[in-house]
Amino acid sequence: VADLDVEIRQIEPGDRLIGLSLGDAQFTALKTFLQRYARIFHQQNLARTYAAFAVGERPKVVGYVTLDCGEIVSEDGRDLLDGLGIGYRYSQYPAIKIARLAVDERWRGRNLGSQLVQLALGTAKDVVCPAVGCRFVVVDAKRASIGFYEKCGFTSLDTPANLVRNEPVMFVDLYKIPAA
């Protein structure tokens, strides 16, 4: 990561995944997932977790993103691909999902969160898309993080049901971002 002495990579068996400090109690589940479940999800092919480690004698985890397969459901039948013009309508669109994302509170505001999102977008665009049909990256955004995802290029799904959701669906159309 530019300007930060941080290495971002997939978690490996010997990694120490403890010590993430996320502040508010509403984020405890994000901490517990990394400590207890991220490795099991890897082994079971349920999700891939990429962690950011502060480089040092003993690398310390300072953030992570977890990816799995998802979809966007067009709740009111609208065409999310506006103007594809092939006379074919999906009701679900294939997507990669940011299942979890967190940055240690002592490391926030240094672009690490957006680097983790860029990793998700790049992986979807450059690794998944060439091999498997996948049009979007989606996230169920915690309300406090909506502004962050907007800065990362995400748009809220503009349906009445979604806009009142506790964690509204936000998405990026991979077709509209350049390949690496």
C-alpha 125/C-alpha 131 separation (Å) is 10
- Amino acid identity of residue 124, one-letter, is A
Q: Among residue numbers 30 through 49, which ones bind ligand COA (CB under 6 A)?
A: 30
Sign of CA dihedral 126, 94, 172, 118: negative
74 binds ligand COA (CB under 6 A): no
Q: Which of 11, 112, 121, 172 binds ligand COA (CB under 6 A)?
A: 112
Q: Using an 8 Å Cβ cutoff, are 35 and 53 in contact?
A: no
- Tell me how far, at minimum, the Cβ of 2 lies from ligand COA, in Å: 12
Distance of CA 93 to the CA centre of its chain: 17
For residue 49, how many other CB atoms are within 10 A of its CB?
22
Q: How many residues bind ligand COA (CB under 6 A)?
A: 21
102 binds ligand COA (CB under 6 A): yes
Q: Which of 39, 42, 60, 108 binds ligand COA (CB under 6 A)?
A: 108
- Tell me how far, at minimum, the Cβ of 38 lies from ligand COA, in Å: 15
- Tell me how far, at minimum, the Cβ of 89 lies from ligand COA, in Å: 29
141 binds ligand COA (CB under 6 A): yes
Q: Which of 80, 103, 120, 134 binds ligand COA (CB under 6 A)?
A: 103
Site map 46..65 versus ligand COA, x via CB under 6 A: --------------------
147 binds ligand COA (CB under 6 A): yes
Residue ranges that bind ligand COA, judged by CB under 6 A: 22, 27, 30, 101-103, 108-114, 139, 141-142, 144-145, 147-148, 151
